[in-house]
Amino acid sequence: MTDSDVAAESTSPLAPIRLLIAAPRGFCAGVDRAIEIVERSLTRYGSPVYVRHEIVHNRFVVDSLKEQGAIFVEELDEVPDGVPVIFSAHGVPKSVPEAATARGLEWLDATCPLVSKVHRQAERQIENGRHIVFVGHKGHPEVIGTFGQVPDGSMTLVETENDVAQLDFPTETKLAFLTQTTLSVDDTAAIIAALKLRYPDIAGPKAEDICYATSNRQAAVKAIAEECDLVLVIGAPNSSNSLRLVEVAQRSGTCAELIQRASDIDPRWLDNVNTLGLTAGASAPEKLVREVVDRIAQFRAVQEETVVTTEEYMVFKLPRQLTDPA
């Protein structure tokens, strides 16, 4: 049975669907910067340019850069001598650029400046003699990169309030907390509250570590979710900020699905859906949003509305290697 056959059975082509598109959505300043670093490096150095790990968590973006001449590898030892290498937007342990320098490799750091800020905060807290409780998701590249900024054993990971309850630091221990930049705003607030309740003297950052784009996209989903019968989130399954958007919609009592491309949409999802919400994680390009809108229009007439909750103007500088004259 074709999609058209399914659509004909499940929804009337005459029944329009109200489509609420969240704004802001999609690319953030850190992702824009990371992609531009790869593209400018290809122009400046020529192909190939190597990238350690996915530059951002989006297969469409990665494949597009591969077509331009970027080669993605998992570890630095896969990079041959004499070619430039770029570190992903999620950040890397200090040992990685140190190893690149020791090999004489030209390297460029595409780490999001907001992640780099967390790295510097971690260094300062260790210098001040504090042990860091880090709120994040085990195994995420950003967490691995942040742990790699400080000596082994000087940071402890917590993922939930229950993890906080299991901590057993002596009362005299000097503590600080930091967080991954792409977490659930609500979950993180609850975990931090639990930390402060248990350890009243724990030090924290002057401003929250969750990045502006993560917070803004979650707020935008909240603004539309309660009006929707279903919310679609465009993003990769390994994208933390995209997964959080799905959770935000679900906690509003709305069904939500994570999709990577328009082809992931099952037309049966549109059964009994009068209002559909749409957003995109911070690594998903606007091209994929339009692709999804076009796909939905194959099954239903679309009444499209953009719901704007805030405007974003953030821009990050590029590495000096790409701005200085060649």
The C-alpha atoms of residue 167 and residue 133 are separated, in whole angstroms, by: 10
Q: Which residues of the chain does CATH 3.40.50.11270 include?
A: 29-112
* pTM, rounded to two decimals: 0.92
Q: Which amino acid belongs to residue 158? A: V
Report the chain's mean pLDDT, rounded to a whole number: 94
Q: Where in the chain is the domain with CATH 3.40.1010.20?
A: 3-27+212-308, 113-198
> How far apart are the C-alpha atoms of 122 and 113, rounded to whole Å?
14
With a CB cutoff of 8 Å and minimum separation 6, the contacts of 76 are 52, 85, 96, 99, 100, 103, 105
Structure confidence by residue, pLDDT tens digits, 300-323: 999 999 999 999 999 999 999 998
pLDDT surpassing 50 at residue 9: no
Decide yes or no: CATH 3.40.50.10860 for domain 29-112: no
User: What separation in angstroms does the CA of 172 have from each of 124, 168, 200, 203, 231?
Assistant: 19, 11, 11, 13, 47
pLDDT band at 10 (very low <50, low <70, confident <90, very high): very low
What confidence category does residue 5 fall into, taking pLDDT thresholds of 50, 70 and 90? low
Please write the tens of the pLDDT for every residue from 270-291: 999 999 999 999 999 999 999 9
Tell me which residues are annotated as active site: 142
Integer Cα distance of 118 and 204 in angstroms? 11
pLDDT tens track for 34-91 = 999 999 999 999 999 999 999 999 999 999 999 999 999 999 999 999 999 999 999 9
Judged against a pLDDT cut of 70, whether residue 142 lies above it is answered with yes
pLDDT at 206 (0 to 100) = 83
Domain 113-198, second-level architecture: 3-Layer(aba) Sandwich (3.40)
pLDDT of residue 324: 80
Residue 171 pLDDT level (bands cut at 50, 70, 90)? confident
* Size of the chain, expressed as the number of residues it contains: 326
With CA atoms as reference, report the closest residue to 86 among 147, 142, 45. Answer: 45
Q: Is the dihedral of CA 129, 131, 136, 142 positive or negative?
A: positive
- Decide: 83 and 50 in contact? Cβ < 8 Å: yes
Q: In the CATH hierarchy, which top-level class contains the domain 3-27+212-308?
A: alpha beta
pLDDT digits (tens, 9 = 90+) for 240-280: 999 999 999 999 999 999 999 999 999 999 999 999 999 99
